[in-house]
């Protein structure tokens, strides 16, 4: 078993979302959110120099303080399993990995194995998205999950009777993980692909768009999302810091999205818009 290079980087709270977006593009074996920022591990193999150079570019771009150390090879799956905790949203949904015991008092039991590369640091945004979906009428509604990650939201939409459902992510690992999670939840009718928003045909129209991503991606995508959503359709977004509320709402208004609901948790926002 090969050893690993472990980077521990210090990130200010208001930079975490954008830094994570860049770190997620790296060929890392694990990303973990810690109090000071993030910890990343790269296997020391014949690609390690490329990994180090890519990591250094991110560090230089954002002038990040960091420490690096060599860690003896270990079972990263076991490390990850020890740190990952299930999410319980009221009596509506439990989101758990296969190694967590199931509880019976939930409407939906979502089996999600995020694998090592997804970390466990964004439970607040996931929790709020699921919490808001509890109050939506999803039956027979067309849904798009933009930046699906592990596929949690698309799978929940499927369990609520939404159809058709399109879900995608730019990351190959996310796409493959979503396919796997859809299978273990027996909702294989979700249309999943690896790609970007512009890959969605322009003639597409959705009743509900779900986007648990980050502020910059959301701001850059509002024009396209406005074209892809039905009139009076619903846009539900998270991954936005409280301090960015005015910026996001102001930009959304330019594309005929009206804010109808705002909730917050642990410094993060979840916003619900109607298209007028």
Domain ranges of the chain: 4-74, 85-275
Name residue, tokens 């990591």: 55
Q: Give yes or no on whether 4-74 and 85-275 have one common fold.
A: no
pTM of the model: 0.76
Three-class DSSP category at 78? helix
Mean pLDDT of the residues in the chain: 88
For 67-76, 131-140, 158-167, 245-254, which range has the lowest pLDDT when averaged over its residues? 67-76
**Contact (CB, 8 A) for 92 and 116:** no
Query: Which is more confidently placed, 48 or 166?
Result: 166
User: Which CATH superfamily hosts domain 4-74?
Assistant: Reverse transcriptase/Diguanylate cyclase domain (3.30.70.270)
pLDDT, tens only, 87-127: 899 999 999 888 888 998 999 999 987 665 444 445 788 89
pLDDT, tens only, 53-74: 999 999 999 999 999 999 887 6
The CA-to-CA distance between both ends of the chain, in Å, stands at 56
Mean pLDDT within 250-264: 97
Mean pLDDT within 135-152: 95
pLDDT at 81 over 80: no
- The predicted structure's pLDDT at residue 216: 84
Q: How much of the chain is in helix, strand and coil states, percent to nearest 5?
A: 35, 30, 35
**Contact (CB, 8 A) for 30 and 6:** no
Question: Among residues of the chain, what percentage have pLDDT more than 70?
Answer: 93
Distance CA 8, CA 117 (A): 15
Q: Which CATH architecture has domain 85-275?
A: 3-Layer(aba) Sandwich (3.40)
Q: How many other C-beta atoms can be found within 10 angstroms of the C-beta atom of residue 134?
A: 16
- The predicted structure's pLDDT at residue 117: 45
pLDDT, tens only, 168-217: 998 777 888 899 999 999 998 899 999 999 999 988 899 999 999 888 88
- The predicted structure's pLDDT at residue 75: 63
pLDDT at 259 over 90: yes
């Amino acid at each position: 078993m090969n050893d690993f290079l472990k980077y521990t980087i210090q990130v200010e709270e208001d930079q975490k979302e954008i830094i994570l977006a860049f770190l997620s593009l790296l060929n890392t074996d694990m990303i973990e959110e810690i109090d000071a920022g993030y910890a990343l591990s790269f296997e020391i193999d014949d690609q390690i120099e490329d990994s180090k150079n890519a990591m250094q570019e991110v560090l230089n771009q954002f002038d990040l303080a960091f420490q690096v150390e060599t860690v003896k090879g270990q079972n990263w799956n076991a490390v990850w399993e020890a740190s990952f905790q299930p999410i319980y949203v009221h009596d509506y949904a439990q989101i758990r990995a296969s190694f967590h015991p199931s509880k019976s008092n939930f409407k939906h039991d979502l089996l999600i194995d995020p694998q090592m590369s997804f970390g466990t640091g964004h439970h607040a945004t996931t929790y709020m998205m699921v919490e808001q979906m509890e109050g939506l009428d999803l039956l027979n509604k067309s849904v798009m999950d933009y930046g699906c990650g592990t596929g949690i939201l698309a799978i929940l939409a499927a369990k609520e009777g939404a159809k058709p459902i399109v879900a995608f992510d730019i990351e190959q690992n996310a796409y493959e993980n979503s396919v796997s999670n859809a299978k273990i939840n027996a909702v294989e009718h979700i249309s999943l692909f690896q790609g970007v928003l512009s890959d969605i045909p322009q003639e597409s129209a959705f009743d509900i768009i779900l986007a648990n991503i980050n502020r910059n991606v959301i701001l850059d995508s509002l024009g396209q999302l406005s074209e892809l959503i039905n009139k009076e359709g619903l846009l539900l977004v998270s991954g936005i810091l409280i301090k960015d509320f005015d910026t996001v709402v102001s930009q959304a208004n330019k594309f005929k999205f009206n804010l109808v609901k705002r909730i917050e948790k642990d410094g993060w926002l979840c916003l619900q818009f109607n298209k007028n």
